[in-house]
Amino acid sequence: MPTKPIIILSQPQLGENIGACARVMCNFGLEELRIIAPRDGWPNPKANDMAKSARYILDQATIYENLPAALTDIQSLYATTTRPRDMVKQVVTPKEMIKAVHEQQADIKVAILFGPERTGLTNDDIILADNILTIPVSDQYNSLNLAQAVAICAYEYFTYDKHHLTNELTFRKSEPATKQDVHYMIKQLEEALDKTNFFQVPEKKEKMMQNIGNIFTRTPLSQQDVRTLQGMLRALAEK
Residues that bind its own copies (CB under 8 A): 20, 23-24, 26-29, 52-54, 84-93, 95-96, 132, 134-138, 140-145, 147-148, 151-152, 155, 158-159, 162-174, 220-222, 224-225
Strand partners, 113: 8, 79
Euclidean distance between CA atoms 233 and 107, whole angstroms: 63
Residue 61 neighbours by CB distance under 10 Å: 21
What is the smallest separation between the CB atom of 152 and its own copies, expressed in angstroms?
5
| C-beta of 31 vs 190, nearer to its own copies | 31
State which residue, 28 or 64, has the beta carbon closest to its own copies: 28
Q: Give whichever of 68 and 220 is closer to its own copies, judged by the CB atom.
A: 220
Tell which residue, 115, 130, 136, 126, has the closest CA to residue 85. 126
Compute the least distance from the CB of residue 85 to its own copies, in Å.
7
Q: Does the N-terminal peptide bond of residue 43 adopt cis geometry, omega within 30 degrees of 0?
A: yes
Report, in Å, the least distance between residue 224 CB and its own copies: 8
The least distance separating its own copies from the CB of residue 193, rounded to whole angstroms, comes to 26
Closer residue to its own copies (CB): 66 or 142: 142
Please, which residue, 86 or 238, has the CB nearer to its own copies?
86
- The angle formed by the CA atoms of residues 148, 7 and 138, to the nearest 5 degrees, is 30
Q: How far is the CB of 83 from its own copies (least distance, A)?
A: 11
Residue in 122, 132, 94 with CA at minimum distance from that of residue 37: 122
Q: At what angle do helices 146-159 and 15-27 cross, to 10 degrees?
A: 10
